[in-house]
Each structure stands twice: as C-alpha cells, then as structure tokens.
Amino acid sequence: MVGADIVNLGLVINVIENVDEPLEALTRAWSLARGLLVVSVMLANQGHPGALGRGAAR
C-alpha cells in the first residue's frame, strides 16, 4: 500500500464484522497517513428519524 497525506476511513469501521479487524484497520490507516487520518462511524441510533440520542428525555 502507498501512503498518503490524508487517509479517510469514512464508515469503514462500522461494516467490519470480525472484532479484531477494526483495530488492525485503524493501525494500518495510521501507518499510511502522512498528515491526517479521518475516521467516522455511524452510531447505533443514527439514521433513524426521531431516534433519541443517549441521555435524551423521552
């Protein structure tokens, strides 16, 4: 793999099924990032209209 100034793991971590692989993916991405590592995930309640976040009043 080739390094880059910016490495983006947008929503990649969410789709990894094996519990050991997210850490491996983050570690490899970090080793490839020369400047910036961008990581985003979808929380369990995101994407559901009207879903209440953690600690929200019901």
For 34-45, how does the pLDDT look when each residue is reduced to its tens digit (9 = 90+)?
Answer: 999 999 888 776
Residue whose C-alpha is closest to residue 5's, from 29, 41, 23: 29
Give dist(CA 19, CA 42) in Å, integer.
Answer: 16
Is residue 27 a part of any domain in this protein? yes
pTM assigned to the model: 0.65
| Residues 24-57 as b or e (16 or more Cβ within 10 Å = b) | eeeeebeeebeeebebeeeeeeeeeeeeeeeeee
Domain ranges, residue 24: 4-40
- Residue that the structure tokens 């020369």 belong to: 34
**How many separate domains does the chain show?**
1
Is residue 19 a part of any domain in this protein? yes
Is residue 8 a part of any domain in this protein? yes
Is residue 45 a part of any domain in this protein? no
Is residue 46 a part of any domain in this protein? no
pLDDT digits (tens, 9 = 90+) for 4-58: 999 999 888 888 888 889 899 999 999 999 999 999 888 776 666 655 555 544 4
